[in-house]
Amino acid sequence: MAHNPFYHRGAIRESVHFYDRQHETGQVANLIGASQSVSIVGPRRIGKTSLLYHLLDEGVRAERGLLLPDYVLVPIDAEGMEQASSLAVYALLLNGIYEALGRDREAGADTVGYRDLSSEIKSLYLSGAKVVFFIDEFELLAANQNLDPPFFSGLRGLATRYAVSYVLASQHPLVSLVYADDSVLSSPFFNIFATVPLGLFDEETAWGMVVDLLGRAAMTLPEPALDAIADLAGPHPFFMQIAAYHACEVMRSVGQWDEQCSATLGDRFYEEAQHHYLYYWNGLDATQRSVLANLTAAQHDRGARDALRLLQMQCLVVRTDSGCRHVSSSLQRFVRLQDIEGLVQEGPFVIDLQRRTVTVAGELLELSKTQFKLLAHLAQHGGNIVTSRALEAHVWQDEYVGDPERLKAAVKHLRRALGPWAKCVINVRGVGYALRMGGQ
């Protein structure tokens, strides 16, 4: 039986498994060739580390003209360096050069000075070699309280004197990273970078990745399975890998795809993906969470533009001809389960209590003040029955007169405004009303 070709949960280290990113690969390689430093920016799990490994691959380096002895490409992982001294960081860079050159690590190289690092780089430069540091998770170094403006200015000095280039990978642009010393950003080090954003695949590329990797493993999936993968993961390469992996496993177990297979795939995928969604969610502020949960209304709110732009950069939202949507159905499922202050999410309804907007299945409704109060109050009770008296008292408050006909008329008008969703407002004769999906 063919092996499952979708197993990458971490970085892709071998270029044979790397897919696409041809534009970004060429862009970074060309910038390196011009002795330009590069900042690769993208959210978690979008493939920044994989791109670095890809660029360091011998075959890719040969194709792009970045081989020894002309170029010394030095991979540096900043993980674990959050509290390192500047001397320890210099040692990390110097030892990285030794390893890239295939030289033995020198004794006593755990802590070296700037001059030691500069001297080695100068020697290589005079021999015609350019040093390029590939630094992954740069934000960890940025937040290191032991690295001050002179440290970063020293790195800039190496670029100026010896054509050193830096390829930094981080989740956020350099200017918006959290630095231990606010004055760090005044360092000229940050003026030498070209930014290469790393984002979602387009839909054709995402689909092509799945089909291509299946073909390499001599496997196939029926079109309904491919449609389910695309719906669950959206054009996100990491989540496409997860969804396709589980689709292959479901197919192995049943042999023939049906509707139950799609449901099983959805549950398996969501169980794994929700932990990643929670990470993204915890990185959003209250406004961004509210906008993500209420995309339809947010697109008509000028004050939400910055939040929408950030959500798009975080690959949580994609733009369409008609506006914006969640990157995938599973992310939307996750968001609908979150408690958000000032927002009521019940069934297909998203009710913003502050903006007084209601969307249903992505459509913005026009409701009167009374209709809004009725729907919001029913939704806040989560399918439970609200007595007629309590509902009248909430809607009309001081104007409450105990007139059942007034409430009946208001509910009738609400149902008319809800259109195809009118059946969600049910009447329990002699008791009151409830908002229930399916009208039961």
Predicted local distance difference test score (pLDDT) of residue 1: 52
Residue 302 has pLDDT above 70, yes or no: yes
Strand partners, 323: 320
pLDDT band, very low/low/confident/very high, at 208 (cuts 50, 70, 90): very high
Residue 13 lies in a domain: no
Residue 15 lies in a domain: no
Least confident residue range of 53-62, 99-108, 161-170: 99-108
Q: Give the residue from 144, 167, 197 where a domain finishes.
A: 197
| pLDDT-derived band at 66, boundaries 50, 70, 90 | very high
Choice among 2-6, 41-45, 56-60 with the minimum mean pLDDT? 2-6
Which pLDDT score is estimated for 322?
Answer: 80
Average pLDDT, the chain: 94
CB 103 within 8 A of CB 69: no
Same domain membership, residue 108 and residue 235: no
Per-residue pLDDT tens digits for 247-273: 999 999 998 999 999 999 999 999 999
Q: Scanning the structure block, which residue is given the tokens 């209709």?
A: 371
- 52 is in which domain, residue-wise? 21-197
H-run or E-run covering 358: strand 357-360
Same domain? For 250 and 132 the reply is no
pLDDT at 224 over 70: yes
Residues 193, 266 within the same domain: no
* Cβ–Cβ under 8 Å, residues 84 and 137: no
28 plus 90 within the same structural domain: yes
In one-letter notation, the amino acid at residue 408 is K
DSSP secondary structure string, 94-135?
A: HHHHHHHHTPPPPTTTTS--HHHHHHHHHHHHHTT-EEEEEE
Provide the sign of the torsion angle of the four alpha carbons 25, 31, 35, 36, taken in this order: negative
pLDDT at 128 over 90: yes
* 90 and 111 part of one domain: yes
Mean pLDDT of the 51-79 span: 97
Q: At what angle do helices 329-336 and 223-233 cross, to 10 degrees?
A: 50
Establish if 256 belongs to a structural domain: yes
Same structural domain, 234 and 248: yes
Tell me what pLDDT residue 183 has. Answer: 85
User: Strands 343-346, 349-352: parallel, antiparallel or unpaired by DSSP?
Assistant: antiparallel
Task: Count structural domains, the chain.
Answer: 4
Among 144, 174, 197, the domain boundary falls at: 197
pTM for the model: 0.91
Residue 5 covered by a domain? no
Q: 325-338: per-residue pLDDT in tens?
A: 999 999 999 999 99
Q: What is the percentage of the chain residues whose pLDDT exceeds 90?
A: 86
pLDDT of residue 109: 60
Q: Which residues contact 33 (CB under 8 A, 6 or more apart)?
A: 64, 65, 66
Q: Higher pLDDT residue, 322 or 368?
A: 368
Does some domain include residue 363?
A: yes
Residue 77's DSSP bridge partners are 136
229, containing H or E segment: helix 223-233
277-303 residues labelled b (16+ CB within 10 A) or e (exposed)? beebbeebeeebbbbbbbbbbbbeeee
Longest dimension (CA), the chain: 94
Q: Which CATH number fits the domain that encloses residue 407?
A: 1.10.10.10
Residues 221, 79 share a domain: no
Confirm whether 10 is domain-assigned. Answer: no
Examine the domain organization and report whether 94 and 157 are in the same domain: yes
Does one domain contain both 68 and 179? yes
pLDDT classification of 280: cutoffs 50, 70, 90: very high
Q: How confident is the model at residue 34 (pLDDT cuts 50, 70, 90)?
A: very high
Q: What is the pLDDT of residue 106?
A: 63
Same domain, 26 and 162: yes
Express each pLDDT in 385-411 by its tens digit. Answer: 999 999 998 998 877 666 778 999 999
Q: Is residue 313 part of a domain?
A: yes
318 pairs with which residues across the strands? 325
Residues 114, 55 contacting (CB under 8 angstroms): no
pLDDT tens digits, 163-178: 999 999 999 999 999 8
Looking at 197, 231, 261, the residue that finishes a domain is 197
Give CA–CA dist 375/359, Å, rounded. Answer: 11
Average pLDDT over residues 140-158: 94
Average pLDDT over residues 366-393: 95
Same structural domain, 181 and 227: no
The model's confidence at residue 437, banded by pLDDT at 50, 70 and 90, is: confident
| Residue 237 shares a structural domain with residue 135 | no
Q: Is position 227 within any domain?
A: yes
CA atoms of 10 and 19, how far apart (whole Å):
14
Contact between residue 300 and residue 243 where contact means Cβ atoms under 8 Å apart: no
Residue pLDDT, tens place only, 182-198 = 888 888 999 999 999 99
* Rounded Cα gap, residues 230 and 210, in angstroms: 10
